[in-house]
Structure 1
Amino acid sequence: MGPEAGLVRDVRDFLCPGGQLYDTNVVDTPGGLTHLHENRPGESVLLRSRSVPLLLRITGILLGFYGLALAMPGFWLIGLGDSGYYAVAGMLILCSGALIAAARRAGIVLYAIVLAVTLLWAVSRVGLDGWRLIPPLALPSAIGFWVFSPWIGGRLIDRQGQSRVNVCVVSGISGCAALFAFMFICGWTITASRTVQYNPFPQQRFTGDIIDGESLVNNQWRMTGGTSAGDRFGTAAQITPENAHMLGRAWVFHTGDLPRSGENARGREFSFEATPLKVGDNLVFCTPHRDVVALDATTGKQVWRYTPGGNYGQNIYQACRGVSYFEAPAGVPCPHRIISTGAGSPPTLFALDADTGHLCAAFGHNGTVDLSQGMGIMPAGFHFITSPPMVMNSRIMLSGWVYDNQTVDEPSGVIRAFDAVTGQLVWGWDVGHTPANRPLNPGEIFTRGTPNGWGVYTADPALNTVYVPLGIATPDYYGVKRRSFDEQYDTSLVAIDITSGEERWHFQTVHHDLWDFDLPVGPSLVDLPDADGRMTPVLVQTTKQGELFVLDRRTGKPFYRVEEKPVPGGTIPEERYSPTQPYSPDIPNLRRADPTTDDLWGVTPFDQMACRIAYKKMSFHGLFTPPGLQGTLGFPAFDGVDDWYGATIDPTRGVLYVNTTYIPFRMQLVPHDKALKEGLFKPWSGWKQPYPEPIFTDNPQHGLPYAAVIEPWLGLFGAPCLAPPWGRTQAIDLVHHRMIWERALGTTKNVGPASMLRMPVGLPTGIFSMGGTLTTATGLVFMGATADQGFRVLDGRNGAVLYETELDAGGNATPMTYMGRDGRQYVVLAVGGHGGLKTRNGDEVVAFALPARRE
């Protein structure tokens, strides 16, 4: 037999050693499958048997395109100084496709080599992290099912060239199946390994009074956070670690308030974020369109409903995080009041009778206060309130949300206090005034464009102090034109005397903020022992950048050390970059480690490679890398690792619980004229003409030389460019300032851009969340929040999941708890989804409880 037969034998032995898969008288030639005809001893005559089957040609051509699509950008990636794997794998796949298109069995062998090389390369880069193995391995393995199928691999190696199942087909398909099993087994294993108990749960219990404990007396929940301390701690103790698995839905109420046309498009968001109050025997909450609803707390039946009306069509956010409660002095009409706001144009403040839902006529003008007074020009959609006002010591205190990054000269961020009985303005704290709490002069307006306080406030009634988290003097991403008072107060926590509006102190968490790291929520208040064991009134301020600042709440001085550290500078010539930023080194931060190329992800090699190329092209030098013309990776960015829901504290143990989310963003400054030419937004000449609303990612920053494009960093197919975990839940011992435990929480189920495009299966990667937690005296942690529509109960000691169920929509709010008239403990959560997180929308308020006792 001649040399051609030797080639046949070698290929056969390589592909399936020890097995005869095809007639040794059949060989590959450039023309296709060819039989060897023995003419006489020592001679062979090649006879063409037939042309290459069309299916083989199509498969080979498609594999060739696949290989080219991988190799060409792969060489670009090499030029950027990254891995050569994609170029090499692409060329091998191209060659495999060419061989298969020519009906050469070596193409099957080469594809098997590609899978083996890919496996070795991937494991060498990310180890046995199954979720990170998905981008390089999943698509090639899936294609392998076809390449090794009876119609391709089976046909090539069959002695008659027929589609058949044989040992090598089974081996190839089994190998691909084994790769998938390997990925997912490693994925589940790595997720289990990310539940880590670093330190023991503290055994000490503090016996002091709960701050503002009156809000919880008589089984009430009169503040969004339970008390004015914002600790989200419930004293009800019927649900325990031993019986939590028996929880179930006790009742469901449908509000009927769902997104209207366009309210979840172009970056607009419809979100049901409300935490109900319990006042008397009623639960009271607001819907995204600002209806205020009272339910019977035990049965879930509607008691009354108030609809403020108004045109909300210009608001890019439809959200309301809750209402407030005020108990007026004896003899005052309408003594039990629900305080809330309308988000129409103009925005309003109103007071309702908590018993009937009717407006309190003696408050303001027939129950309503016009919040546009003293604010100057306030176009629809540029100023409204999303968080409940802080009501304390006969004052109603609020600021509002402003339409960030649209223009200079936006409405004021003034903090205002109104008399809770009459609705009259008592003071306004305006950083542009000296002193900041001086009254307005006739015809004067509050200083425009100042830092605002849009999140939920907290307060210490004993100190008569409200703690206001401040934002940035918008626009956010270019700071050259900021005024001295803006620079002093941007992204700061300010303590204000409730009665007079006089500042007690302020603490800045970011200097010259260029990242939109504004403080999204007030601090949680707690008393902790100092080094000598004396209980000290402190506060814990969460931040978007993941630092936890622990301050003495009387003075604003650090309780745990705060240190200024050098940070990267930027490239915009006229910008003033802060050389240092404050860090809190004595308390664990909430961030993930800075990403490297091996942390980049995608569902296929293509989007993973695209993410690697983008990463190499962007500027990233860690936290506080400022935006520039090149493009910057913001990790974290304006959504932060923690947002408007803050943290939860068990004040009896000094333990903090928090959900964290990891969503990197791409930030880029664009010269204003260039942005106009590229159509990022429309020209606008000022307040005398209607404002042309851009899409959410394009920030015009009118009046400044640069616009800003801020968008989530996603791959070609919409998957995150960052590998899992995308979300965690953590427990921190505030006394010993150390992490107790952390775990990746949540799955990929229900995640997707729209109802018809959601993941049907739940891979336990750890998923994004938006919403807070609740803890109780029995050491449980209750939470919805995750993008998979889950509701879970965790053991606060170790993070173990004691109960979980799937909700009908996103539970992106913070739960609350109380005891019902029937003697059962209820945990209540708003379940209506979140437009920014793209969870499924709904209109439910859901109560969970243990089964009713049988008489």
Structure 2
Amino acid sequence: MDSDVIRKSFSRLLGLLLFLIGGWLTIGGAWLASLGGSLYYLPAGLVTLSVALLVWRRRLLALWLYLGLALATLAWALAESGLDFWLLLPRLGMPLGLTILLLLVLWPGGRFLPGAGRSRAPWAGLAVVGAFAGVMAIAFVGEGESPGSPAPTRPLTLDAVADAEDATQWRAYGRTRAGTRYVPADQITPDNVDQLQVAWSYRTGDLPEAYPGARNAYSFQATPLKADDSLYLCSPRNIVIALDAETGQERWRHDPGINTSGIYMLACRGVSYHERANAEAACAKRILVATLDARLIALDAATGNRCPDFGEGGEISLLDGLGEVKPGYYLVSSPPAIVGEVAIVGGFVLDNMSVDEPPGVVRGYDVSSGRQLWAWDAGRPDAAGPWQPGEPYTRGSPNAWSVFSADEALGLVYIPTGNATPDYYGGQRTAAQDRYSSSVVALEASTGSVRWSFQTVHHDLWDYDVASQPVLIDLPVDGELVPALIQPTKHGEIFLLDRRSGEPVAAVEEQPVPRGSIPGERYSPTQPASVGMPSLTPPEMVEKDMWGATALDQLWCRIAFKQLRYEGKFTPPGLERTLSWPGNNGVMNWGSVSVDESRKLMAVSSSYMPLLVKLLPRDAAPPGEQISFDQRNVPISPQMGTPYAVSTERPFLSPLGVPCNAPPWGRLSLIDLNSRELLWQRPLGTTRDVAPLGIAMPGAFTQGGSIITRGGLVFIAGAQDDYLRAFDIETGVELWKGRLPAGGQATPMSFVSADNGKQYVVIAAGGHQYMQTTIGDYVIAFSLPD
């Protein structure tokens, strides 16, 4: 075929491509401008249409015109994004690619178009390509965030040195009942962590494909316990497994055969351990597991056999006294808190189905017999007095589904609470139901009586329930060592309280927030802000924060954003689509935080996933009490008993399936608890295992927690790529990452073997279906080589 015919065909194809691009930029740009948005896209579209016509006619003027647009785009992109590579990429990628195509079509084989003479346009084009490439290269090289201020070097305290004797054990979910996830071991250090290798690997056999026909989502979130020389963990279906801590060999397993009917997510975060004073008694050392079908089971830690003295046949039903419980409406996914001889259990109540859902009651049981000792009903008016056996619990009351912590010296257990059901309309809630929702509540472990409570969100309409385990640490304040409690929240605030009284240690102030206009609803005029601590709440979102794979879907995201109702993180839900930012996935969720008990440094993993919410009047909502889906496959929850159903869309995606909010979507931060300063912050994880072509963008959505070691390391997985990472606590520099066979949506743990003296770091690697990470059934242990 004649070369001129080929060039003409290419120019026609390129002209058609430019016409389509220019058409969308023009239409979308006019639409965006009418919404008060950026004025860049409309003129860019008109210029692109003109270039398309000139290319169709094979006029060299097309190149000159597009080069002018490209330079204007470069200036606009830098003004909006600065030298941030991943923010520049969707703004500059398409203009760069089109400039190169224009050069290839209009200057083939190094020859100008017929009659073009000695035009300088091609050389100008090469200069523009060079300018784009140079800017992108500079932005890419500078992509690594500054680690910020180095963490202060402080000597180990006497308490921390003494605690090093306990480095062989991890007997509670957060290593101790305080939940600090601090490992008093320093065999693994910043100098040798890069030598870590797999010590052993174990597979539970609990996989979705092992149960044909099962429709439940799956997530392996367990953190193993270490007691004596065994590890104890639970699989997503509550199969309890004991492993040899040094070899990973299975010692026993117990399958409770749970009923998974109606359960939307299979997950078990861990088991609990109790040791009787009488070592000769039956089941002197026992493992307790609370199940997804609402049972509490006690097992002999040595054999895995059921403890015959606990309830009936080694179990009790957690459904007793709850009234009607539909399948999947009530489950327990977190381990009981054991304080002395009391096992304290909360439960998860399915969100947004009805006002008449099971009670969110917290109960205390005798750890030996299973006899119920007390109940705390968050929906019960204080004037009614303490709950008496046989009295009904309040249906639809705030629940407590996450991990508890405890201070045995004070005799208190600390309960993070959720909302009264449903989440997004609260006109029917009583004052009692509102009082303890989205709070941390201190209960007397022996009686269940309320000692104090602190509310993190008033009349919560955003599903900002308190998902993170409270963390207990003693801090020097004005010359006094104060027993403090750290409460991270979904909306990004970190509250620092005196755990004796609930009074703020770091300043908290009430700040005004927007009010809605839904009939029958009431709105709190203010919300608490922890102004005395660094906040991880993201800045208020603006149009230029919109992202996308290209300029085309970024324009779509901008239009969609301008059509949303949004007045900050406490924008109340309404009849129009509302942006909830940071959204109910939470800046901080059940992974909570980890604290270096010696140096008073806190590591925080945070995630940023917006939610789109819309209330649907009852006559416009799908009938029935079940979750349905609209034409875009967005879930609609019924909220029966209220005037409105609710549509909840997460995450906020472009038509190409990439987030509309700009990266990074996950971060790791270090906060000095003495000075209450943010020391460093960096993106956490990458998109390698979820993005097309394995593109590893820094800062992925996260789910999971961290640990801190005495050796000066922060270990964390949690991100959407399949890695466990180690960071230098002093600088925030990533020192090591170990490839996992599946997603690490769990919190790791670490211990020193009393037999061989080696320090191990262990994590469950089984993924999370909602996070779209690799599914598996692995438990992986890392250690230094012999």
TM bucket (normalised to shorter chain) is over 0.9
* Identity fraction in percent: 41
C-alpha contact 1:400 1:452 (8 A) present in aligned 2: yes
1:115 equivalent to 2:70? Answer yes
Q: Matched residues in 1 for 2:783 and 2:656: separation?
A: 41
1:123-150 Cα distance to aligned partner (Å, 9 max, x none): 122222221111121123223333322x
The letter for the 2-side match of 1:514 is L
Q: Matched residues in 2 for 1:696 and 1:411: separation?
A: 26
SS of structure 1 residue aligned to 2:296: strand
1:226 equivalent to 2:175? Answer yes
Shift of 1:768: 1.9
1:527 equivalent to 2:527? Answer no
C-alpha contact 1:244 1:803 (8 A) present in aligned 2: yes
Shift of 1:382: 0.5
- Report the counterpart of residue 73 of structure 1 in structure 2: 28
Q: Matched residues in 2 for 1:597 and 1:434: separation?
A: 45
Equivalent of 1:499 in 426, 438, 446:
446
- Report the counterpart of residue 135 of structure 2 in structure 1: 182
SS of structure 1 residue aligned to 2:13: helix
The letter for the 1-side match of 2:9 is L
- Report the counterpart of residue 607 of structure 1 in structure 2: 553
Bigger Cα displacement from structure 2, 700-709 vs 402-411: 700-709
Bigger Cα displacement from structure 2, 839-848 vs 100-109: 100-109
Shift of 1:237: 1.7
- Report the counterpart of residue 703 of structure 2 in structure 1: 770
1:596-623 Cα distance to aligned partner (Å, 9 max, x none): 2222111111221111112212122222
1:139 equivalent to 2:80? Answer no
1:284 equivalent to 2:225? Answer no
Q: Matched residues in 1 for 2:471 and 2:439: separation?
A: 15
C-alpha contact 1:668 1:708 (8 A) present in aligned 2: yes
Shift of 1:441: 5.3
CA separation of 1:748/1:174 partners in 2, compared to 1, >3 Å: closer, same or farther?
farther
C-alpha contact 1:324 1:391 (8 A) present in aligned 2: yes
CA separation of 1:747/1:530 partners in 2, compared to 1, >3 Å: closer, same or farther?
same
Q: Matched residues in 2 for 1:51 and 1:601: separation?
A: 37
Matches within 5 A, 1:108-507: 108-149=63-104, 151=105, 153-154=107-108, 158=112, 172=125, 175-176=128-129, 179-180=132-133, 182-189=135-142, 191-192=143-144, 194-198=145-149, 200-203=151-154, 205-208=156-159, 217=166, 219-260=168-209, 269-330=217-278, 331-344=280-293, 347-433=294-380, 438-440=386-388, 442=390, 444-507=391-454
Shift of 1:591: 1.9
SS of structure 1 residue aligned to 2:694: coil
C-alpha contact 2:376 2:387 (8 A) present in aligned 1: no
Q: Matched residues in 1 for 2:541 and 2:167: separation?
A: 49
The letter for the 1-side match of 2:102 is V
The letter for the 2-side match of 1:195 is S
CA separation of 1:659/1:779 partners in 2, compared to 1, >3 Å: closer, same or farther?
same
CA separation of 1:184/1:666 partners in 2, compared to 1, >3 Å: closer, same or farther?
farther
Q: Matched residues in 1 for 2:106 and 2:618: separation?
A: 56
CA separation of 1:429/1:362 partners in 2, compared to 1, >3 Å: closer, same or farther?
same
1:215-266 Cα distance to aligned partner (Å, 9 max, x none): x737111001000000000112211122111111111111122234999999
The letter for the 2-side match of 1:701 is Q
C-alpha contact 1:145 1:176 (8 A) present in aligned 2: yes
- Report the counterpart of residue 760 of structure 2 in structure 1: 826
CA separation of 1:511/1:264 partners in 2, compared to 1, >3 Å: closer, same or farther?
farther
Equivalent of 2:676 in 722, 728, 737:
737
1:379-400 Cα distance to aligned partner (Å, 9 max, x none): 1111101111111211111111
Equivalent of 1:544 in 484, 490, 494:
490
Equivalent of 2:665 in 726, 730, 734:
726
CA separation of 1:746/1:780 partners in 2, compared to 1, >3 Å: closer, same or farther?
same
Shift of 1:761: 3.1
What RMSD in Å do the two structures reach over aligned CA positions? 2.7
- Report the counterpart of residue 709 of structure 1 in structure 2: 647
C-alpha contact 1:391 1:397 (8 A) present in aligned 2: yes
- Report the counterpart of residue 772 of structure 2 in structure 1: 838
Q: Matched residues in 1 for 2:357 and 2:421: separation?
A: 7
Shift of 1:837: 1.8
C-alpha contact 1:236 1:819 (8 A) present in aligned 2: yes
The letter for the 2-side match of 1:140 is P
The count of aligned residue pairs is 775
Q: Matched residues in 1 for 2:156 and 2:530: separation?
A: 25
C-alpha contact 2:715 2:726 (8 A) present in aligned 1: yes
1:537-577 Cα distance to aligned partner (Å, 9 max, x none): 11111111111111111111111222111111123243211
C-alpha contact 1:782 1:794 (8 A) present in aligned 2: yes
SS of structure 2 residue aligned to 1:613: helix
- Report the counterpart of residue 12 of structure 2 in structure 1: 57
CA separation of 1:638/1:396 partners in 2, compared to 1, >3 Å: closer, same or farther?
same
The letter for the 1-side match of 2:222 is A
1:342-362 Cα distance to aligned partner (Å, 9 max, x none): 213xx2110111111111122
C-alpha contact 1:263 1:316 (8 A) present in aligned 2: no
Shift of 1:503: 1.1
1:304-361 Cα distance to aligned partner (Å, 9 max, x none): 11111122141111111111001123143111111002213xx211011111111112
C-alpha contact 1:326 1:391 (8 A) present in aligned 2: yes
1:813 equivalent to 2:746? Answer yes
CA separation of 1:236/1:52 partners in 2, compared to 1, >3 Å: closer, same or farther?
closer
Q: Matched residues in 2 for 1:177 and 1:332: separation?
A: 78
CA separation of 1:434/1:172 partners in 2, compared to 1, >3 Å: closer, same or farther?
closer
Q: Matched residues in 2 for 1:231 and 1:744: separation?
A: 22
The letter for the 2-side match of 1:99 is L
The letter for the 2-side match of 1:314 is G
SS of structure 2 residue aligned to 1:197: coil
Q: Matched residues in 2 for 1:379 and 1:463: separation?
A: 38
CA separation of 1:811/1:177 partners in 2, compared to 1, >3 Å: closer, same or farther?
farther
The letter for the 2-side match of 1:460 is D
C-alpha contact 2:107 2:113 (8 A) present in aligned 1: no
Structure 2: 5+ residue runs without aligned partners? none
CA separation of 1:559/1:50 partners in 2, compared to 1, >3 Å: closer, same or farther?
closer
- Report the counterpart of residue 24 of structure 1 in structure 2: none
The letter for the 1-side match of 2:520 is E
- Report the counterpart of residue 22 of structure 1 in structure 2: none
Shift of 1:53: 3.2
Equivalent of 1:91 in 26, 46, 53:
46
- Report the counterpart of residue 653 of structure 1 in structure 2: 599
Q: Matched residues in 1 for 2:130 and 2:432: separation?
A: 63
Q: Matched residues in 2 for 1:633 and 1:559: separation?
A: 32
CA separation of 1:571/1:317 partners in 2, compared to 1, >3 Å: closer, same or farther?
same
Q: Matched residues in 2 for 1:729 and 1:617: separation?
A: 32
CA separation of 1:744/1:159 partners in 2, compared to 1, >3 Å: closer, same or farther?
closer
C-alpha contact 2:232 2:243 (8 A) present in aligned 1: yes
Q: Matched residues in 1 for 2:130 and 2:155: separation?
A: 51
Matches within 5 A, 1:40-51: none
CA separation of 1:175/1:302 partners in 2, compared to 1, >3 Å: closer, same or farther?
farther
